[in-house]
Amino acid sequence: MAEEKKKSADPAVLQLLAKCESCEGLPTTMWDRYDAMQPQCRFGELGVCCTLCFQGPCRINPTGKEPVRGICGATDYTIVSRNLLRRIAAGTAAHSDHGRHIAHTLHALIEGETDAYSIKSEDKLKAVAKKVGITAEGKDTMQLAKEVVDLALEDFARQDENVPLTWLKTILTPERMEILERCDVVPYNIDAMVTETMHRTTMGVDADPVPLIFNGVKCAMADLAGEAISTDLSDILFGVPKMVVTQTNLGVLKEDQINLAMHGHNPVLSEVIADMADEMVDEAKAVGATGINLVGVCCTGNELLSRRGIPLATNFASQEAVLMTGAVDAMIVDYQCVMPSLGMWAQCYHTQLISTSNLCRQAGDVHIEFNPKTAKEDAKRIIGLAIEAYKNRKETDIEIPDYRETIVVGFSLEQIEEILRTQSDDPYQYIVDQLKEGKIKGFAAMAGCNNLKTCQDESHLTLAREFLKNDIMVLATGCAAGALVRGGFTSSKATQEMASEGLKEFLTTLGKGMGLEDALPPVWHMGSCVDNSRIQFFMTTLANKMGVDIKDLPIVASAPEDMSEKATAIGTWLVASGWPVHVGIFPFIHGSPLVVQVAELTARDVYGGFFIFETDPNEAARRLSNIIKHRRWKLGIDADEEIVYPTGETAADFFEETEPQKANTANGGK
């Protein structure tokens, strides 16, 4: 049992892994493959392996002995930086292509080419129009939507290098835009940034880690804009998430219903499936099921969870486990974080693995190319396949772990503002007051993936637990949110059990304000990974309210299980926006002390944000909590409080965060 504990913090996952271990002839799990891959290539882990030209592969000796240069002459910092940039470019490409696809769907609606969609939130449309500088007055909904979507597509099309991305300006403080402009890292076109990054990292182009890393920052800022476009246009098309009570974990699968698991990231198809499922209940009943049960996986799951309360079955690492239940009639995948092993697992059961984007085909898939123009028909065909598959279910295969959590999710920024407005007409002032009173000490954004280099979800849960103990409110997205909902952090009960006194009072007050008997949950599920833009918008608005910048706010971010290249792009724009960002899995840069120093220290001087690389979640929580303490002290909130360093603290841990400030104070302050 001790060994199994290491694999996942989720007992539902452990139950299924144990089940599979006792069966013959089943495919490997991700955990098996992780073990089989040991030991992993140390050159690769350190980022000092270069395959960017056919004279290679080259690998630098990270200990400083020969070879210290690749064949072309590239040193550790060049190789590490180039590899890092390509990851940022890939992450940016993924997030922003997602945004582009939503824009095209909205465009198809406006052009009258599809009847599968509608503008679900006119309020959001107006709010977005306003923030990007479009007047709503005198325009009907479709006209306004057209202007918004055209402006969004302009962020992919603009050829004037002097005009910044529209969506970037909306999501940063004026001070931040100034810093970025000063550093020449304000992108003008998202796609052009991806191209520039790929060009710059080609053999014989940039060898200097400083412009390389600045380019990485610029590309990551394009990622932020791409995410913001994704979130805004999704809200317009599919509605702004509202607080909703629902359930999560594998126990949400139903033995007597057609189980459709929707996996990936982009809600353009899954939203239509959710619309169409109701219409097909009779067909489901005709094959003996009592209904159609929709569940989500990964970030498509988070999108559906937030907007419709559709239960989230699980997060990234346990996507195979969804199939291991034997109860899934169809798993529908759009794109991103879809494991190529799913086909193997689907084939062990009656499950149909249905791919729907030509961007993301899988071995063993049935491919139904999704097109916004034929979305309803596509959705019906997909549901039809699931209904057909149900007939082939084998009762003996089925094992649905009896784990499900009741959760409160749907914390869009609009929802949060509505909650705060129950206390004050000025919701952000209310937050400022609560911060000043110390009811809440600060905010921790928990984001990112699963990564089997550590026990699934465990670090997410540990960090959140520590934050809540310290009056730090947790805002969660993506697979971090997936971990925290399943781990029991998004209920009133969690507030009672885990929140410190101030936080509990804050959440109880807000719960009562909303007419609830209980406190709000201590972790607010804010959506999928592109919805990190919601968190950023939240903090930018708060900073503007306080007349400071994100770099001054008592906030931290953490991706304790970073896995995807998308996480690298997110982490980079967070740092460049002024966030302290903890990363729990070393991101292939430690082969260059210089690059690590830039990430940990130089970034702080330039942007006010910085990376903290720390595999131990308790240590990470301690450092992050201290940063919040320190930032409160710098803001003058807790000016009198002496920061007590726990025994065993090394000075280096805080030096950059605290010492210069102390020095300034000694000299009479700035």
Residues 15-44 that bind its own copies (CB under 8 A): 28, 30, 33-34, 36-37, 40-41, 43-44
**Should residue 245 be labelled a site residue for its own copies when binding is judged by CB under 8 A?**
no
**Should residue 52 be labelled a site residue for its own copies when binding is judged by CB under 8 A?**
yes
Among 130, 199, 421, 662, binds its own copies (CB under 8 A): 199
Helix or strand holding residue 219 (H, E): helix 209-238
The nearer residue to its own copies, 292 or 452, going by C-beta atoms, is 452
- Identify whether the C-beta of residue 428 lies closer than 8 Å to the C-beta of residue 541: yes
Other beta carbons within 10 Å of 238 = 27
Contacts of residue 167, defined as CB under 8 A and 6 or more positions apart, other chains included, come to 132, 152, 155, 225, 226, 228, 229, 232
**Should residue 362 be labelled a site residue for its own copies when binding is judged by CB under 8 A?**
yes
Among 288, 363, 655, 659, binds its own copies (CB under 8 A): 363
Q: Please name which of 7, 3, 10 lies closest in space to residue 483, comparing C-alpha atoms.
A: 10
Among 4, 19, 26, 72, binds its own copies (CB under 8 A): 72
Q: What CA–CA distance (Å, rounded) separates 235 from 229?
A: 10
The nearer residue to its own copies, 30 or 129, going by C-beta atoms, is 30
**Should residue 55 be labelled a site residue for its own copies when binding is judged by CB under 8 A?**
yes
Among 10, 16, 48, 70, binds its own copies (CB under 8 A): 70
**Should residue 200 be labelled a site residue for its own copies when binding is judged by CB under 8 A?**
yes
Q: Please name which of 614, 611, 612 lies closest in space to residue 603, comparing C-alpha atoms.
A: 611
**Should residue 97 be labelled a site residue for its own copies when binding is judged by CB under 8 A?**
yes
- Identify whether the C-beta of residue 328 lies closer than 8 Å to the C-beta of residue 19: no
Q: What CA–CA distance (Å, rounded) separates 336 from 47?
A: 23
Task: Classify residue 75 by its DSSP letter.
Answer: B
**Should residue 153 be labelled a site residue for its own copies when binding is judged by CB under 8 A?**
yes
Shortest CB 198 distance to its own copies, Å: 4
Q: What CA–CA distance (Å, rounded) separates 538 from 413?
A: 7
Coil/strand/helix, residue 483 = helix
**Should residue 210 be labelled a site residue for its own copies when binding is judged by CB under 8 A?**
yes
Coil/strand/helix, residue 610 = strand
Q: What CA–CA distance (Å, rounded) separates 649 from 653?
A: 7
**Should residue 372 be labelled a site residue for its own copies when binding is judged by CB under 8 A?**
no
For residue 525, what are the β-bridge partners? 476
Question: Which structure tokens are listed for 158?
Answer: 């603009």
Helix residue spans in 412-488 (DSSP H): 413-421, 427-437, 458-469, 478-486
533 alpha carbon, distance to own chain's centre: 9
- Identify whether the C-beta of residue 71 lies closer than 8 Å to the C-beta of residue 56: yes
The nearer residue to its own copies, 346 or 431, going by C-beta atoms, is 346
For residue 446, what are the β-bridge partners? 476, 558
Q: What CA–CA distance (Å, rounded) separates 169 from 147?
A: 17
**Should residue 90 be labelled a site residue for its own copies when binding is judged by CB under 8 A?**
yes
The nearer residue to its own copies, 296 or 554, going by C-beta atoms, is 296
Question: Which structure tokens are listed for 345?
Answer: 């697992």
Q: What is the pairing mode between strands 580-583 and 610-613?
A: parallel
**Should residue 201 be labelled a site residue for its own copies when binding is judged by CB under 8 A?**
yes
Strands of 330-333's sheet in order across: 366-367, 352-355, 330-333, 258-264, 292-297, 312-314, 244-248, 405-409
Coil/strand/helix, residue 472 = strand
Q: Binding pattern to its own copies, positions 220-239, x when CB under 8 A? A: --------------------
- Identify whether the C-beta of residue 555 lies closer than 8 Å to the C-beta of residue 259: no
**Should residue 2 be labelled a site residue for its own copies when binding is judged by CB under 8 A?**
no
Could you say which residues in the range 409-448 bind its own copies, by CB under 8 A?
A: none
Among 18, 23, 157, 639, binds its own copies (CB under 8 A): 157
Could you say which residues in the range 114-143 bind its own copies, by CB under 8 A?
A: none
**Should residue 475 be labelled a site residue for its own copies when binding is judged by CB under 8 A?**
no
Helix or strand holding residue 224 (H, E): helix 209-238
Q: Please name which of 353, 313, 300 lies closest in space to residue 331, comparing C-alpha atoms.
A: 353
**Should residue 374 be labelled a site residue for its own copies when binding is judged by CB under 8 A?**
no
By CB under 8 A, which span of 96-104, 167-175, 496-504, 619-627 interacts with its own copies? 96-104
Among 23, 71, 245, 286, binds its own copies (CB under 8 A): 71
Among 96, 257, 495, 533, binds its own copies (CB under 8 A): 96
Q: Please name which of 180, 355, 137, 326 lies closest in space to residue 263, comparing C-alpha atoms.
A: 355
- Identify whether the C-beta of residue 57 lies closer than 8 Å to the C-beta of residue 51: yes
Among 9, 346, 485, 567, binds its own copies (CB under 8 A): 567
The nearer residue to its own copies, 201 or 577, going by C-beta atoms, is 201
**Should residue 183 be labelled a site residue for its own copies when binding is judged by CB under 8 A?**
no
**Should residue 248 be labelled a site residue for its own copies when binding is judged by CB under 8 A?**
no
**Should residue 198 be labelled a site residue for its own copies when binding is judged by CB under 8 A?**
yes
Among 460, 504, 566, 629, binds its own copies (CB under 8 A): 566
The nearer residue to its own copies, 197 or 293, going by C-beta atoms, is 197
**Should residue 257 be labelled a site residue for its own copies when binding is judged by CB under 8 A?**
no
Question: Which structure tokens are listed for 114?
Answer: 């599809």
By CB under 8 A, which span of 49-57, 122-130, 236-244, 467-475 interacts with its own copies? 49-57
**Should residue 270 be labelled a site residue for its own copies when binding is judged by CB under 8 A?**
no
The nearer residue to its own copies, 80 or 407, going by C-beta atoms, is 80
Shortest CB 335 distance to its own copies, Å: 5
Task: Classify residue 8 by its DSSP letter.
Answer: B
By CB under 8 A, which span of 48-56, 376-384, 550-558, 594-602 interacts with its own copies? 48-56
Among 169, 254, 453, 512, binds its own copies (CB under 8 A): 453
**Should residue 359 be labelled a site residue for its own copies when binding is judged by CB under 8 A?**
yes
Shortest CB 343 distance to its own copies, Å: 8
Among 14, 49, 252, 620, binds its own copies (CB under 8 A): 49
Match 């729990």 to its residue by tokens. 584
Shortest CB 295 distance to its own copies, Å: 19
Shortest CB 575 distance to its own copies, Å: 17
Shortest CB 307 distance to its own copies, Å: 22
Max Cα separation, the chain?
81
Shortest CB 128 distance to its own copies, Å: 19
Could you say which residues in the range 588-617 bind its own copies, by CB under 8 A?
A: 588
Could you say which residues in the range 318-337 bind its own copies, by CB under 8 A?
A: 335-337
Among 452, 474, 526, 627, binds its own copies (CB under 8 A): 452
- Identify whether the C-beta of residue 213 lies closer than 8 Å to the C-beta of residue 251: no
Contacts of residue 205, defined as CB under 8 A and 6 or more positions apart, other chains included, come to 199
Q: What CA–CA distance (Å, rounded) separates 661 from 666?
A: 9
**Should residue 351 be labelled a site residue for its own copies when binding is judged by CB under 8 A?**
no
90 alpha carbon, distance to own chain's centre: 15
- HSE-up (13 A, CA, CB side) for residue 524: 31
**Should residue 181 be labelled a site residue for its own copies when binding is judged by CB under 8 A?**
no
Shortest CB 362 distance to its own copies, Å: 5
The nearer residue to its own copies, 23 or 205, going by C-beta atoms, is 205
The nearer residue to its own copies, 159 or 650, going by C-beta atoms, is 159
